[in-house]
A = this chain, B = another copy of it.
Amino acid sequence: MEEYDNLKLENQLCFPLYACSKEIIKKYKPYLDKLDLTYTQYITMMVLWDKKKINVKELGKYLFLDSGTLTPVLKKLEQKGYIERNRNKEDERNLIISITKLGIELRNKVKDIPNNISKCVNLEQTEAVQLYKLLYKVLNGLK
């Protein structure tokens, strides 16, 4: 073991995470382009399909994003008619994001994307599960 081996790119754990994430997101592009969606808009809609109604703070917890990133994304999704942005009457600090009818319909147009992406990823089912578990172990265990 050389003195600086731990500084080699190929010996890092973060780098393949970073590269892998970016490269897979590129695979979404042709599918998302057809629907005029970005990856960030897409994962935002994923939360909305599930929750229907949520404030920015909560949304940010699910997505690991802050208002600095989310505000412009949500304004875009509002422009496209997929969500509504309304202040909470009980607490005007909260912005409630709610999915629209058009937003709900969008789900039908993206429902084949996960399968198509799976085909790009050259892993056995068991390996994919293993990877998934390890990633969440890291994500939930970060100190």
12 A-B pairs (CB sep. < 8 Å) = A4-B107, A4-B111, A7-B49, A9-B50, A9-B62, A13-B128, A14-B21, A16-B132, A23-B64, A121-B138, A130-B130, A131-B131
**Chain A interfacial positions (CB closer than 8 Å to B):** 3-4, 6-9, 11-25, 27-28, 39, 43, 46-47, 49-50, 62-64, 107, 110-111, 113-115, 117-123, 127-128, 130-132, 134-139, 141-143
Contact across chains for B8 and A50 when beta carbons are under 8 A apart: yes
By DSSP majority rule, is chain A's interface helix, strand, loop, or mixed? helix
Q: A15 with B43: in contact, given A123-B137, A130-B134, A142-B121 (CB under 8 Å)?
A: yes
Q: A139 with B16: in contact, given A49-B4, A127-B134 (CB under 8 Å)?
A: yes
CA distance A43 to B138 in the complex (A): 21
Number of copies: 2
CA distance A117 to B6 in the complex (A): 11
Contact across chains for A131 and B13 when beta carbons are under 8 A apart: yes
CA distance A14 to B29 in the complex (A): 13
